[in-house]
Structure 1
Amino acid sequence: MKKTSQYFILFLATMLSVFSCGEMSDVETIKLAHSLDVNHSVHKAMVKMGEDLAEISGGKMQLEIYPSQQLGTERECIELLQIGSLDMTKVSVGVMENFAPRMKVFGLPYLFKDREHAFEILDGPIGQELLDEGTKYWIKGMCYYDAGSRSFYTKDKPINTPEDLKGLKVRVMESVTAMDMVKSLGGSPTPISWGELYTSLQQGVVDGAENNPPSFYLSRHYEVCKYYSLDEHTVLPDVLIIGTHIWDRLSEQQRAWLKEAVDKSVGYQRKLWAEAEQEALEEVQKAGVTVVRPDKTAFEEDVKDVYETYSKDEDMKDLINRIKNN
């Protein structure tokens, strides 16, 4: 029933576009949906991308944005994109690993030396190689947006060492690497959709979760979880993707216009992200959250078995080494 309603919404939007355009039928309208709040830096970057796209194309291309899970969860939006009912979406790379398996490398804990190293990889040949990974599944990656580092937040006690995770149910995305990581640290990973997490925390379905500071703040999860432990276990970017159904239909000129607008949005989003991250940490502390910065050594030690498991795959081992040695 839920998916039927999503398709109906898209059908109405498409028909409205057709009838309202009239003589403007030569305008290419791209429909983009995502799950984030309108105050999130990624949404703001997408709004700017739409403005830039209209300007660059001389009004011949435009972007229609559906935020806040209006058309479904991240996974549902990918599925809509695959069948051609949606043109673009933004998802966490953790969700993308279900559609582009090699992207699961980004879910490995403590993969990057620092933020600068992460940007070098994402903006370089390895990052581009992985953006192209999903084309066989009708998905083309366009760019990476900064999503900072993910850390644990909990209801009843801070996480100072991996020992503190033992016996705790921790919400994770539908990501195998996220589940493996939490298991290696002694916690019990529990996949729950982002939209259901606040209630799940309230009702005790899970004891905590893990995410970056702006997501922790904008979701208001700090109202339930009063401890935020900055162990910064993963640097998991967001990925902007487009369906090959529309990408293949676009002319070379249209692709160039879209790519230029996308590239402009990346730098803009990263600037907004840095500001949002600082604001989020300040605001949650004002709201009574205890922010702790644990020693990461024990966490890095406990996740070594995750690397051993993934390195059994020669292709994954090579990819890990290329990133680590870059």
Structure 2
Amino acid sequence: MLILFLGITFSCKQTSDTKVMYLGHTLPQSHPVHKGIVEFQKALEKKSNGSLIVKIFPDAQLGSEREVLELLQIGSVAATKVSAATLSNFVPEYNVFGMPYLFRDKQHQFEVLEGEIGKSILEKGSEFWLRGLCYYDAGSRSFYTSDKAIRTPDDLKGLKIRVMNNQMAINMVNSMGGSATPLSYGELYTAIQQGVVDGAENNPPSFVSSNHYEISKYYTLDQHSTLPDVLLIGTKYWDKLSDQEKNWVQEAADESAQAQKVFWNESVEASMKTAKAAGVEIIIPEKNLFAEKSKPVLDKFLKEFPELAPMVNQIKNKD
């Protein structure tokens, strides 16, 4: 019944003069990625002189990331934002971005994402009715714990660390000596509070917006993975657009990606101030120790996906 309702209500709704794009995602409206999506909304309406309208449904109003992706595939919803980790379940190439210490720095990351490699991966999603439009900055993921500080990989031994239900993330934590524990994000606050897990890993804005900083007093900026978010449009919607409308959508997405980087940097700065003010100890470790421990993850990945080895080498060797 829900799918039938959504299909009737959301699918490429239009009048003689306008087309409405329904976009659902799971983030709160205060999140810098949501602010980037709002910029996409504004830019597209302006470029199209109001003939293409985006209606945004944040806060998981339309379901989880996986559920909204399925709604895109059947054409009930037009667009969404999801983590590259979630997309790796559909498009194996997205797994590459979850590799520990793949990027040297932020500049290297976005040269790859906004270059030939990144664009080719966005297009590959079309095979699964999920066309990528652009990448949003989702920062770097780092460890945080409630009772024990992590200063070296050895400190992870015996600790249960919550991870996304993603094999790359599981392998990474286990390779460093921790015990990877997949768990729903919505259950994580209580799980840390009750000692079900000892900690988790995420970027600074998520660490603070989830209020995990209230119960996790150690934040180790090892920055082990740098997974972007991806703005997607369902091909069932995309294919109904004219060439001019497709150009407007892509241009608006590209402009929103640049604006979102600014929102992200501002949010990271504000989040770190909030965490420090709450008494969280910020630890800057020797990242090379963590990188060395995570090397088996790369070896395992390339054994499973040997066809992606040239892409990994191209990324690592990019000037």
TM range (shorter): over 0.9
**2:147 aligns to what SS in structure 1?**
coil
- For 2:16 and 2:185, the matched residues in 1 are separated by 37
1:325 aligns with 2:314: no
Cα deviation for residue 11 of structure 1 reads 5.3
- For 1:225 and 1:86, the matched residues in 2 are separated by 37
1:171 aligns with 2:162: yes
What is the identity, as a one-letter code, of the residue corresponding to 1:118? Q
Cα 1:100–1:10 shift into 2, 3 Å: same
Normalized against structure 2, the TM-score is what? 0.95
Q: 1:50 is matched with which residue?
A: 41
Normalized against structure 1, the TM-score is what? 0.93
Contact between 2:10 and 2:76, CA under 8 Å: does it hold in 1? no
Contact between 2:10 and 2:77, CA under 8 Å: does it hold in 1? no
Q: Deviations over 1:110-156 (max 9, x none)?
A: 11111110010001000011111222211111100011111011111
Q: 1:162 is matched with which residue?
A: 153
Match of 1:132 among 123, 132, 136: 123
Give the CA RMSD over aligned residues: 1.7
Q: Deviations over 1:48-80 (max 9, x none)?
A: 211111111011001010111111111121122
Q: Deviations over 1:205-259 (max 9, x none)?
A: 2221111101111111111211110000011110111111111111111111111
Higher mean C-alpha deviation, range 312-321 or range 193-202: 193-202
Cα 1:325–1:242 shift into 2, 3 Å: same
1:210 aligns with 2:201: yes
Q: 2:248 is matched with which residue?
A: 257
What is the identity, as a one-letter code, of the residue corresponding to 2:263? L
Unaligned stretches of 5+ in structure 2? none
Cα 1:14–1:148 shift into 2, 3 Å: closer
**2:266 aligns to what SS in structure 1?**
helix
**2:289 aligns to what SS in structure 1?**
helix
- For 2:189 and 2:79, the matched residues in 1 are separated by 27
- For 1:72 and 1:9, the matched residues in 2 are separated by 14
1:240 aligns with 2:236: no
Q: Which runs of 4+ in 1 moved over 6 A?
A: none
Contact between 2:217 and 2:281, CA under 8 Å: does it hold in 1? yes
- For 2:210 and 2:5, the matched residues in 1 are separated by 25
Q: 2:63 is matched with which residue?
A: 72
Q: Which residues of 2 match residues 1-326 of structure 1 at below 5 A?
A: 5=2, 7=3, 10=6, 13-14=9-10, 24-312=15-303, 313-326=305-318
- For 1:294 and 1:137, the matched residues in 2 are separated by 40
Cα deviation for residue 12 of structure 1 reads 7.3
What is the identity, as a one-letter code, of the residue corresponding to 2:133? M
Contact between 2:10 and 2:22, CA under 8 Å: does it hold in 1? no
**1:199 aligns to what SS in structure 2?**
helix
- For 2:296 and 2:279, the matched residues in 1 are separated by 36
Cα deviation for residue 195 of structure 1 reads 2.5
> Structure 1 vs Structure 2: percent identity of aligned residues?
49
Contact between 1:310 and 1:317, CA under 8 Å: does it hold in 2? no
Cα deviation for residue 204 of structure 1 reads 2.5
Contact between 2:69 and 2:80, CA under 8 Å: does it hold in 1? yes
Cα deviation for residue 200 of structure 1 reads 2.4
- For 2:121 and 2:241, the matched residues in 1 are separated by 22
- For 2:301 and 2:149, the matched residues in 1 are separated by 29
Unaligned stretches of 5+ in structure 1? none
Aligned residues: 317
What is the identity, as a one-letter code, of the residue corresponding to 1:272? F
Q: Deviations over 1:254-305 (max 9, x none)?
A: 1111111111101100011111111111111111211111111211111111
- For 1:193 and 1:28, the matched residues in 2 are separated by 35
Cα 1:12–1:135 shift into 2, 3 Å: closer
- For 2:77 and 2:165, the matched residues in 1 are separated by 21
